[in-house]
Structure 1
Amino acid sequence: MSPGPGLPPLGDGDIPEKLARVIEAWPYKLHRTLAHSPDTLLTWLPFGEHILMHNTLPFREREIAILRVGWNARCAYEWGMHSIVARRGGFGESDFEALCVGAESPHWTPGEAAIVAAVDDMQSRWTIGEEVWGELAQHYAPDQIVDLVWLSGNFMTISLQLNALRVPLEDGLPPLPEDRPHYTRAT
């Protein structure tokens, strides 16, 4: 997150009444910052919840994609929040190390490597290259590929919001590793 001006998360006394239930369910600084635009938050949230928790990708693949988006976007908030979620879901240190390396890491299964490569392509080329598309198609059904693109795009947007609005980190988030390059794939 960049220092400097941003929008402060709204405190409890400043939350519009129509957002009370949303903030009760999602009490995070991201949602409290997005509450500056209540109607947009209310419109986006059902989609965000669906794409996060109910799309056709398995949990592991979803978190790999989200964490790689956060890594590529240098979004400490996204990386930290989803590091916690991923650890609760069984991710270990070798998973996080591989996320910082990229699709070339021997840690990944071929399908997982395709997810990482697809995220890298989408963030660096605004598409998925033919070779990576071929790998994805070998491991995932068409509905899963569509959901991967929706998931990645949504979390690219969230990372942009977090970084651009300078949303403060939640207390206790693990830091974003700083010792590796931004992208590992050729662009």
Structure 2
Amino acid sequence: MSRIPQITSRDAVSPDTYPIFDSIVASRGAVRGPFTVLMYSPEVARRVAEYGAFVRFESSLPSHLREAAATTVVREYECAYEWAMHSVSAPEAGVSPATMAVIRDRASLDSLPSDEQAVIRYARELVATHHVTDDTFAAVHAILGDKGTAELTAAIGYYCAIGCVLNALEVPAPEGPTPPLPGGPHPSPALRPHPSHHPLAYGQTGQTGKRANGQSATIFPAPSVVASHRRQARRGNL
């Protein structure tokens, strides 16, 4: 059960917001997932829906790369609802079972095609450290160019926002056969390590570390603490 009641019926909104409710139903088939709680602020729901419609249907990104990035974000957010959704939509867009397994297990990217490696690394770094290294940016830019890189970054931002809404308000995953994410949900924030100590943010390729729930995890290539500090120093933050 979500932390606030989910709005799924037109009868639950005021008549002046019927157009927003109806537009979401028209574009998505129903008011579901994050929109069941965003409808408490109909204008937010409308604008988020429009943002998502562009990302999903109008972006110039190749569909398999868009879905690889989206699935990476929802995996890193450990967002059960969106994982269930993208477990269906990503394979339909051409993301292979092998790639899905790498994303799910936070495994090394070495076995993946170069375009998927670049996009998944970009998403992982941006979510984990809030920055991307020069090398990671260059790899994505070489594939997608200026416009594609901007759209990829905006798509990652969209799925981060959706993950925040779903996780904070505890919108449950739909019932169905989708297996749960390894390790289940994160523990209480008070029990998590500080982000600067997050092994998935600052580890080196091939190492393993303990996630917050005590399970082992393979650490993906990501910037080191030194590189992070250098970036902050250039910005005058240190």
Q: TM-score range by the shorter chain?
A: 0.7 to 0.9
Q: Which has the higher contact order (CA 8 A, sep 6+)?
A: 1
Q: Distance in 1 between matches of 2:218 and 2:36?
A: 29
CA distance in 2, matches of 1:37, 1:173: 32
In the alignment, is the contact (CA less than 8 A) between 1:103 and 1:113 conserved in 2?
no
- Kindly indicate whether residue 143 of structure 2 is the aligned counterpart of residue 142 of structure 1: no
Between Structure 1 and Structure 2, whose CA radius of gyration is higher? 2
- TM-score of the pair, normalised by structure 1: 0.87
Q: Tell me if structure 1 keeps the 8 A contact 2:67–2:93.
A: no
Give the CA deviation at 1:172. Answer: 1.6
| 8 Å Cα contact 2:75-2:83 kept in structure 1 | yes
Moved more, 132-141 or 150-159: 132-141
Number of the residue aligned with 1:185: 221
Is this contact kept in 1: 2:69–2:123, CA < 8 A? Answer: yes
CA distance in 1, matches of 2:138, 2:222: 18
Q: Identity of paired residues, percent?
A: 21
* In structure 1, C-alpha distance between the alignment counterparts of 2:148 and 2:103, rounded to whole Å: 20
**Partner residue of 1:50 out of 40, 47, 54:** 54
Match in the other structure for 2:4: 7
The residue aligned with 1:41 is 45
Equivalent in the alignment of 2:23: 22
Distance 1:182 1:150 in 2: 27
Q: Which runs of 4+ in 1 moved over 6 A?
A: none
SS of the counterpart of 1:181?
A: strand
> In the TM superposition, what is the alpha-carbon distance from 1:11 to its structure 2 partner?
3.5
Count of residues paired in the alignment: 184
Unaligned runs of 5+ in 1: none
Q: Say which is worse superposed, 158-167 or 176-185, in terms of deviation.
A: 176-185
The 5-angstrom pairing of residues 53-72 of structure 1 reads: 53-72=57-76
User: Contact between 2:3 and 2:169, CA under 8 Å: does it hold in 1?
Assistant: yes
Match of 1:80 among 74, 79, 84: 84
Unpaired runs of at least 5, structure 2: 184-215, 224-238
**Residues 13-50 of structure 1, C-alpha deviations (whole Å, 9 max, x = no match):** 21342333134233213212211111211222212210
**Residue by residue, what CA displacement relative to the aligned partner does 1:42-88 show, whole Å, maximum 9, x if unpaired?**
22221221022211110000000000000111111111111111122
Q: What is the DSSP-based 3-state SS (H/G/I as helix, E as strand, rest coil) of the residue aligned with 1:29? A: coil
